[in-house]
């Protein structure tokens, strides 16, 4: 149960990750807390070579790994990443839909920032060059933003609520929040939720570069992502997917499942300020955090760690720092941004970082912010830097903010299950 309110939480019983740091949750978290970076130079055989100085590139996923060979035609990478992460999350949870849970009491909610933009661009080019007959008839079921959700539901026989959330870089976190909403409302016993994005292709890169949003000028790509650092000059673009299996506490206990952590609160707000820039005072982000605390029935002083959105942009880090200080004041929880190690995974970021936060609660270890050698004095926070920090957490918070002014915050506490992952 959530702390203070008696409102039901949702136990994280499975995690699936496809990230620049690897795939297995334990190995990824070990790399994260050891201070290793997943950001690299873009190899010559990659479509984004020559367009990006550094990127967070996720492991390659072949279509045949997640789909029958006859169904791999024209399927965008964002779908394949999501399917791989969902397969891993359900296996990690030891849960088979139809055997361990009623298919009609199982939901799936997966977010994305852009969907299958690269696949659309490829097919548009074929049409321009060769006319209508050249367009693949499988284009739409391969690239629409809801297709990660749909494919996961089809593969695993999930017959309850399903949705695709498209709120840019908050989409993954908002999908996880939707999972808690469904379980609290009694509309599902199990929710497969998270985010996915694969935007490492020239058109998206060019747009971000022309907007002067990308980090530049670093000889070592591992130094390019520098959240909250005085020398930060933009974010590093990445790709990946994160999927969590959420269960009602009663359902998890009944099947003897082990939990990583419990999702006990969420908050979402809108800045109503600007299409791309956050409110300078961080008011919208602060409201999301306050709503998340109220949803969890917690006071600000009970939060021991914040996994910040922290992209490494000048304005974004300043606004989030202002929001954190407005919410927590003199309490000053430990703060880190794991984007220093992964880059910014766009619509997948909030889900991947929610998984990192759940793992931090389970392991009692806070990952550091990489490349934070000279913290910006205007980002005055209790930064975890240099090395991971041991901590026994009463609760932890994860932030995700986005173009359009979308803000989502999630609160995790220790798992209520007898077995702990």
Q: Where are the alpha helices (DSSP H) in 331-407?
A: 339-342, 349-363
Residue 265 has phi, psi (to 5 degrees) of -165, 155
| Residue 314 in tokens | 């000048």
Point out the catalytic residue in the list 291, 309, 383, 406. 309
| Beta-sheet strands, E only, within 88-202 | 106-111, 162-165, 190-197
Q: Which neighbouring-strand residues pair with 111?
A: 165, 195
| Residue 379 in tokens | 């980002």
- Going from the C-alpha of 39 to that of each of 42, 224, 268, 414, the distances in angstroms are 9, 8, 30, 31
Cα 198 to the center of its chain, rounded Å:
13
CA proximity to 279, closest of 228, 321, 230? 321
CA distance 326 to 330: 9
Point out the catalytic residue in the list 251, 344, 383, 406. 344
Point out the catalytic residue in the list 74, 169, 193, 379. 169
Q: Which residues lie closer than 8 Å to 58 by C-beta, 6 or more apart?
A: 18, 19, 20, 81, 198, 238, 239, 240, 241
Active site includes 344?
A: yes
Q: Where are the alpha helices (DSSP H) in 18-76?
A: 25-33, 63-66
On whether the CB atoms of residues 193 and 176 are closer than 8 A, the answer is: yes
| Residue 182 in tokens | 């469904």
CA distance 274 to 285: 14
On whether the CB atoms of residues 95 and 101 are closer than 8 A, the answer is: yes
Q: What is the number of H-type helices and E-type strands within the chain?
A: 13, 15
Active site includes 379?
A: no
Active site includes 74?
A: no
Q: Which residues lie closer than 8 Å to 19 by C-beta, 6 or more apart?
A: 28, 38, 56, 58, 238, 240, 241, 242, 342, 345, 352
DSSP for residue 43: P
Task: Identify the three-state secondary structure at position 101.
Answer: strand
Query: Active-site positions?
Result: 169, 309, 344
């Amino acid at each position: 149960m959530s702390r203070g309110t008696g409102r039901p939480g949702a136990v994280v019983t499975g995690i699936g990750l496809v990230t620049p740091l690897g795939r297995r949750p334990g190995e990824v978290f070990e790399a994260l807390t050891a201070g290793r970076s997943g950001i690299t130079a873009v190899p010559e055989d990659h479509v984004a070579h020559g367009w990006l100085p550094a990127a967070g590139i996720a492991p390659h996923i072949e279509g045949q790994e997640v789909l029958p060979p006859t169904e791999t035609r024209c399927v965008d990478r964002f779908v394949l990443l999501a399917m791989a992460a969902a397969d891993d999350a359900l296996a990690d949870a030891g849960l088979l839909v139809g055997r361990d849970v009623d298919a009609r009491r199982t939901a799936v909610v997966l977010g994305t920032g852009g969907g299958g933009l690269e696949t659309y661009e490829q097919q548009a080019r074929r049409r321009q060059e060769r006319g209508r007959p050249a367009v693949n008839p499988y284009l739409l079921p391969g690239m629409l933003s809801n297709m990660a959700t749909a494919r996961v539901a089809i593969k695993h026989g999930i017959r309850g609520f399903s949705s695709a959330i498209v709120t840019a870089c908050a989409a993954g976190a908002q999908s996880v929040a939707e999972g808690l909403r469904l379980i609290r409302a009694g509309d599902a016993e199990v929710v497969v939720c998270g985010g996915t994005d694969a935007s490492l292709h020239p058109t998206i890169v060019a747009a971000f570069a022309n907007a002067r949003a990308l980090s530049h000028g670093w000889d070592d790509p591992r130094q390019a992502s520098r959240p909250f650092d005085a020398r930060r000059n933009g974010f590093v673009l990445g790709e990946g997917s994160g999927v969590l299996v959420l269960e009602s506490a009663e359902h998890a206990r009944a099947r003897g499942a082990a939990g990583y952590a419990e999702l006990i609160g969420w908050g979402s707000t809108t800045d109503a300020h600007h299409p791309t820039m956050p409110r300078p005072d961080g008011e919208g982000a602060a409201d999301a955090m306050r709503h998340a605390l109220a949803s969890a029935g917690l006071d600000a002083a009970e939060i021991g760690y914040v996994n910040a959105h922290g992209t490494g942009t000048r304005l974004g880090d300043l606004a989030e720092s202002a929001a954190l200080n407005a919410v927590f004041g003199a309490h000053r929880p430990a703060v880190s941004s794991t984007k220093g190690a992964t880059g910014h995974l766009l619509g997948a970021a909030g889900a991947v970082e929610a998984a990192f936060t759940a793992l931090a609660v389970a392991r009692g270890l806070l990952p550091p912010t990489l490349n934070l050698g000279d913290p910006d004095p205007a980002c005055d926070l209790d930064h975890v830097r240099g090395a991971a920090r041991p901590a026994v957490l009463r609760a932890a918070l994860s932030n995700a903010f986005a173009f359009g002014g979308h803000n989502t915050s999630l609160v995790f506490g220790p798992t209520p299950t007898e077995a702990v992952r």
